[in-house]
Every structure is written in structure tokens, then in C-alpha cells.
Structure 1
Amino acid sequence: MSRTETTTVAGPPVVSPRRAALALAVLAGGAFCFVTTETLPSGMLTMISEGLGEPVSRTGQIVTAYAIVVVVFSLPLTRITARVPRRGLLTLTLAVFSAATFLAAWAPTYEVLVGARVLSGLSHALFWSVAAAAATGLFPPEVRGRMVARLSIGSALGPVLGVPLGTFLAQQTDWRVPFAVLGCVSVGLALCVFALLPTYSPEQGGAAAGTSPSRPRFALLLVVTCLAVAGGMSVLTYIAPYVLDHAGFAENSLSLLLGVSGAAGVVGTTVVGRFLDRRPWECLVVVLAGLAVAHAGLWALGSTPALVVACVALTGGCFGAMAATLMHRGLQLAPGNTDIAMASVSTAFNIGIAAGAFFGGQVLATWSVQGVPLMGSLLSVTALMLVLVVEPRLPAARPLVRPTESAS
């Protein structure tokens, strides 16, 4: 008779439910600031270019530099800091981020601004590698899917609330002011993290190990992440030329459509959080199928405005839900340390972002903007088939054993 291999994981650090909820809210606020800072320059490129006397094409590289830093340094930084207590590490990460944001607000030259963005990218890479496990580890395993979704709401609100508010503030004052405001908020968040997050070594965290570790299934999840994010980002990156040039919407309706997509992302993240703990695999299947349908609809139904709006909303909702689902699935299947696993998921996510933008641009240049959602749909279908067909054939995840249980 074969013996079933099991995995023992630590329980959550002993903190009051109120303190745990407050710590989660603070980390969600940090996620909001990081995502807002990452994408904010897209709404202020013209103002930044004029302020620094640089062409828009060169100024746009500050967004690219940020993404490259996140991809390259997520895993190395996580490995280097693997034994650092999470309260101190997250406090320091937010402090460095606030310093980098203040540097961006002061930057007298383009080169200084790029340096500030690189520093922000380094703190971003480390934050997303450790924040999910640190936040969800304060709660019992049976509710961590819901907690991941709540953490993800912070990042989902960045493009919906943070970027429009930051752009508006820059238009009323100066492009440097939003960066200064984000720096001030980050200082407050760093102090709150230090006050609320308990002190414990990384291996003692409640989410230090995956609840259902499986190396082959986690490796497949990384491939699925790259494909699905590339599909979603190819469409979202070029949604403006699609709705204006192909679907024929008026230019003044673009901001409304983008708002619909962003708001749907918040709703999708909230809804999926209600089911992640009970049906994590099914949630991934549903959001991937929803993305495939939404993208196929944009490809085939561009002449019908109402259906275009519906497909844009479905794209935003499923993409927002997918981010939380992939994060939660990574925490479940992590074959070793969950911080390393989250760094890997973050790297795969950012590779997908870069690949989606690049290949979407190639399709746009060689065919037409209508081909972009078709490519996005094919990538989403490929990811869905891997989850439906390949994952069930891989070795099953090892069941969780609580500390109070004994492995026989």
C-alpha cells in the first residue's frame, strides 16, 4: 500500500482579527500606490515631456524601464531577503518606494527621473513578492482566497481611481505634484505596516508554504499566467485604437469606456473572492473562458456598439478577477517558499504584460487593430486548454496537514 505524501504548514501568526484586517487594508493601500505609480506616467507623458524638454517617445521609456526592473529583479531580491522578517522588510520596501517617488517629484533631468523609476521598480518587485503571503498568512487557510481578492482590490483601483485622479491633479498643478502626494501616502503606509504587522521570521508565517504544493502544476501555472496575461494585455493596451478606429466610437467616449473596463475589474475581483476558497480551479477556468469569449466578441462584433461595450466590460472584469485568481492559485501550489512562488508569478505576469503589448503592436502594424482581440482570444483559449486538459493529468497536489495533525 502506498503512503500519501503530505505537507505540514504553519498556522497564522496570533493576532486579533481587527489587527489582521487593518494590516491587510494597509497592504492593499500599498498595492494601490505601487500600481498607480507604475501606470501614472501614461496619463502625464505630454506634461512630463514638456517639463523636462524631452520627446514623448523617449519619456515613454520610463514605463518600460519600470516593467523591465520588475521582471529582472523579482526573484533575485526575494531570494536575497528570504530570511528577513516581513514586518521590517515591508516597512523598508515602502520607505524606499516613498523616497523614490519623492525623487521622481524633484527630478531636474530625464536621467534622474529614470533613476527614480528604477528604484521604484525595485521596491515594486520586492513588495509583490512578499506582500501576498504576509497579508494572507494572518488568516486561516480556509479564507485566504477572499483575503487575496481584498488585497487585489487595491491594485485594481490603481488604474480606475489613482491614475485619473493623479492625471487630473497634474493638469491642475504640475506633473510633479501627484508623485509627491504618493510619496507622502507611502510614508504613512510604511508607518502603519510597522505598527500593525506582527514580527515573525518568514518560515513562521501562516502562508510561508503552499497549502497544496505541486511543482509540475505550479510550473504549468506560470505558463498559463504568461499566455493569459499576454492575451488580456494585448487587447487592453490597444483598446483605444480599437474602439475609435475600428468600432467607430467618438473620441470623448473613450474615457467612459476605459472607466467601464476599470470598474468591471474591481467588480470582478470582488466577486471572484467569494468563490476562490471553495472553487479555486473552477474560478481560473471561468475567468479564462470569459476572457476568450470577450476577446472573440471584440473581434467579431465590432460593428455593434452595445456589444462592444459589453465585451470591454467583460474583458476588464475577467482580467481583474484573473489577477487575484492567479495569485491565490500560486499561494496554493507553491512547491517551496511562497515568497519565491509569488516572485515567479509576478515575473510571469510582467512577461505577459510586455509580450502582450509587443505582439499586439506587431499584429496592429502588419494586419489591423481588429486582429488584436483575435490574437488575445487565441492566447486565452490556449491557456484555458492547458488548465482543462493538461493540469488534471499532472501529479496531484499534496494535501495539507495542519500543525495539530500528524502525518501517518
Structure 2
Amino acid sequence: MTQVQGIASPEPAARDSALRGWLGVGAVTGATFTVVTSEMLPVGLLTPISDTLRVTEGAAGLSLTATGLVAALSAPLITAALGRTDRRLVLCVLLAVLTVGNIGAAWSPNFGVMMGARVLVGIGIGGVWAIAASMAARLVPAKSTGAATALVYSGVAVASVIGVPAGTYIGALAGWRAAFLVIAGLALIVLVAIALLLPRLTVAQVVPLRAVLRLAREPQLRTALLVVAFLVTGHFAAYTYIRPLLEKVTGIGASTIGTLLLVYGIAGVIGNFSSGTAGARSPRRTLMTISLPLALTVLLIPMLGGSLWLAVTLMVAWGLSYGGVSVTTQNWVFAAAPDAREAASSLNAGVFNAAIALGALVGGRSADAFGVTSAMWLGGALVLVALTVAAIGRSPEQP
């Protein structure tokens, strides 16, 4: 009788363990949603922030650029400094830093305090990005790693659909400071969920900073990082200036543009999940498959965006394509460095955030110098460069 009980008992235990693992993945997804919303929140609040703090809108935009750059630098540095520290504890501390940064932004009496608060937000973002994806892969069985990674990165797409528009709406309803307070409260809620739902997650192998940076020399990982650099820079060079382009080419108003961006975001969520499994099996092939329509979409919008329905179609294609970029490149990074996933993820997070800041910068310079259409040409060209690098570079897949 004891033997029968011993054989039967692991099944409910296994089910409980699997459920807890997926609940943990859901909590980590909440963390990615929170950091992306925190990073992008100033986009919809630049005008009231600049009015209140008495700076230009361009200066207020530095609150976004600075956050991206700090996140890019902090991702590999934090990972190297962590040692064997329990990653659940680390994630809780990072979310606490994010909470304090958002509260500081809400309180800021002047622009200097705002920038200091946004530096804290950048530290939280870089750290979360560096460890979130590798944590998710450890919470579920190996066969579910692709799905878990896709779920974690869905936080990015959902933030663009719900987080940033909701923050903008709260800002219009109750003031921009209230929007920062709400996201601070969300960060605190996610912190509690992480503490309750995740097990202790220690690291068997410590990777020092020098070894983290040496990873970038590995041909397969170097190819992935170059693809991320060109593709994400190209995307944000174009996407940052999509509103003025649509106003110029399509002649639509702010409300219609908001609807188009919502459609884009929904398509991005679909693209994220549809690319998750395929990206886990064949990251290079999946990335090449989504990069070509992404480049063509960005290049065609200035020419075909004059028709509202064509503009809608192109925005859907753009969302579906770019929605799969984060999860696919992360799967490439995992496959390229299977024994150093967290360190490789930190490099990926650093390059990704640096590319966001660089894309907004070079797109703006191009738009100022040659007109907003040039930002689309530049963005499309950079995505084509990324496609070429993916095609000829080394990857974990057999040729």
C-alpha cells in the first residue's frame, strides 16, 4: 500500500510544481511590462512635463534617452556584480529601485531631480532585462522554454498596447505626476508577486565582467548582437517619428493615429507569440522571415501611406513583424551561449537599450536635416543591413 501511495503521489506534486512555475513566469512577465511602461511613459507626457518643469520638449525627451543609456550600461555591470545572489531577491531589489525612481519622478520639483529619478529607473530596467528571460527558462521544463520566453517578452508588446496609452490617459485625467505614481504602485505589486511566487534561484557559475564582455567575441553571439544593434536602431529611427509622418502623408488627426498605434500594438502581441515557438527552433530563419517584411513596411509607408486603409495594413504588418524581434533574438542568444545564458542576456539587454536610444537620436537628426520621410528611409535601410548580417553571419543553426 505504501508503494502504491509512493507511486501515485508525485503526480499532484508535479502538477503543483508546474503551476507554480508558470505563475512565476507570469510574475516575471509583470516585471517586463512594468519596466517597459516605466521606460516609455514620458513619450505621452512630454508636453505637460516640459511645461511644469520649465524646460523644452526636446530637453524633456532626454529623460527617455538617459534612461535607455543607463539601462544599456547597467545590464552587464549588474549581472557581473551579482555573484551567486538569489535572483528572486535581486529582482525584488530592482523592482524596489524602479518604484523609488518612479516616485521620485512624480515628486520632482525640477528637471535635475527628474533626471536623477530616471537614472534609478534605468538601473532597474537594465537589471530586470538582464535576468528576466533566463529566470523564466529556469522556471519551466526545457520543452516549454520557448513558450515561457515568449510570455515574458509579451510584456514588452502589451506595454505598448496598454501601458503607455494608459499612462498617457491617466496623465490627461489626473496630471502627469499621477501617471508615475500609478506605475510605481504597479512595480510594488509585482515585487510582492515575485517574492511570493518565485522559488530561490541561485546561480551555479559566476561570470565576471571581463568574461561577460569576452562572450561578445563568440561568433554566433556576436552575430546576434549585431543583428539586434542594426534592427532595433532601424526600427526606433522610424517608429519614433511615425506620428508626424502619418500626419504629413495620410493627413489624419491625433485620435486616428492613436487607433493606428493601438492596432500596431495588438499586432505586435500576436507577432510575439507566433514567433516564440518558431524562434526557439530556428532563430536565424525566423528572424530573416520577419526582417524582410519589416524593412519593406518601413520603406513603403512614405509612398503608400496616403491611403488610410493601406496605412492600416502597413501598420499591422509592421506590428506583426517587429513583435517577434525581442523573443527571437533572445532565443538566438540562448542558443549561442547555452552555458552562460544570464551573461549573454545582459549583453543583449545592453545592446537592445543602447539601440533604442541611438535609433531615436539618429532618426531625429535625419528628420531635422532632411524631413521626417528620411527617418523611414534610414530605418528601412538599417533593417536591411540587419537582415544581411543575419543571413551571412554565424548562427547556432546548421547551414
TMscore range, shorter length? 0.7 to 0.9
CA separation of 1:24 and 1:160: change in aligned 2, threshold 3 A: same
Does the CA-based 8 Å contact 2:280-2:332 persist in structure 1? no
Q: Give the number of the structure whose residues are more often helix, by fraction.
A: 2
* Structure 2 Cα separation of the partners of residues 315 and 322 of structure 1: 11
Q: Report 1:171-210 matches (<5 A).
A: 171-203=172-204
Structure 2 residue aligned with 1:114: 115
Q: Percent identity?
A: 29
* Structure 2 Cα separation of the partners of residues 231 and 49 of structure 1: 27
Paired residues in the alignment total 376
Structure 2 residue aligned with 1:22: 23
User: Larger RCO: Structure 1 or Structure 2 (Cα < 8 Å, ≥ 6 residues apart)?
Assistant: 1
Structure 2 residue aligned with 1:341: 344
Structure 2 residue aligned with 1:10: none
**Alignment pair present for 1:317 and 2:320:** yes
Does the CA-based 8 Å contact 1:143-1:277 persist in structure 2? no
Residue identity matched to 2:124: S
* Structure 2 Cα separation of the partners of residues 62 and 156 of structure 1: 21
Match of 1:290 among 288, 293, 297: 293
Q: How far 1:336 sits from its partner (Å)?
A: 4.8
Does the CA-based 8 Å contact 2:287-2:328 persist in structure 1? yes
Structure 1 residue aligned with 2:137: 136
CA separation of 1:52 and 1:358: change in aligned 2, threshold 3 A: closer
CA separation of 1:372 and 1:50: change in aligned 2, threshold 3 A: closer
Does the CA-based 8 Å contact 1:87-1:194 persist in structure 2? yes
Residue identity matched to 1:17: A
Structure 2 residue aligned with 1:243: 246
Q: How far 1:60 sits from its partner (Å)?
A: 2.0
Structure 2 residue aligned with 1:389: 392
Residue identity matched to 1:90: L
**Structure 1 gap ranges (5+):** 1-13, 399-408
Does the CA-based 8 Å contact 1:296-1:373 persist in structure 2? yes
* Structure 1 Cα separation of the partners of residues 351 and 380 of structure 2: 19
Structure 2 residue aligned with 1:271: 274
Kindly provide the CA deviation profile for residues 249-296 of structure 1, in whole angstroms up to 9, marking residues without a partner as x. Answer: 344321111112111111111211242333333211111122122123
SS in 2 for 1:137: helix
Structure 2 residue aligned with 1:156: 157
Residue identity matched to 2:93: L
Q: How far 1:40 sits from its partner (Å)?
A: 0.8
Q: How far 1:99 sits from its partner (Å)?
A: 1.9
Does the CA-based 8 Å contact 1:214-1:334 persist in structure 2? no
Structure 2 residue aligned with 1:86: 87
Q: How far 1:369 sits from its partner (Å)?
A: 2.5
Structure 2 residue aligned with 1:7: none
SS in 2 for 1:202: coil
Structure 2 residue aligned with 1:301: 304
Q: How far 1:204 sits from its partner (Å)?
A: 7.5
Match of 1:228 among 228, 231, 237: 231
Residue identity matched to 1:375: L
TM-score of the superposed pair, with normalisation by structure 1: 0.86
CA separation of 1:200 and 1:38: change in aligned 2, threshold 3 A: closer
Does the CA-based 8 Å contact 2:292-2:387 persist in structure 1? yes
Structure 2 residue aligned with 1:9: none
CA separation of 1:21 and 1:298: change in aligned 2, threshold 3 A: same
Structure 1 residue aligned with 2:364: 361
**Alignment pair present for 1:371 and 2:381:** no
* Structure 2 Cα separation of the partners of residues 198 and 58 of structure 1: 43
Q: Report 1:45-60 matches (<5 A).
A: 45-60=46-61
**Alignment pair present for 1:72 and 2:64:** no
**Structure 2 gap ranges (5+):** 1-13, 207-211
Structure 2 residue aligned with 1:405: none
SS in 2 for 1:117: helix
Match of 2:283 among 280, 284, 290: 280
SS in 2 for 1:230: helix
Residue identity matched to 2:359: G
* Structure 2 Cα separation of the partners of residues 60 and 384 of structure 1: 30
SS in 2 for 1:83: coil
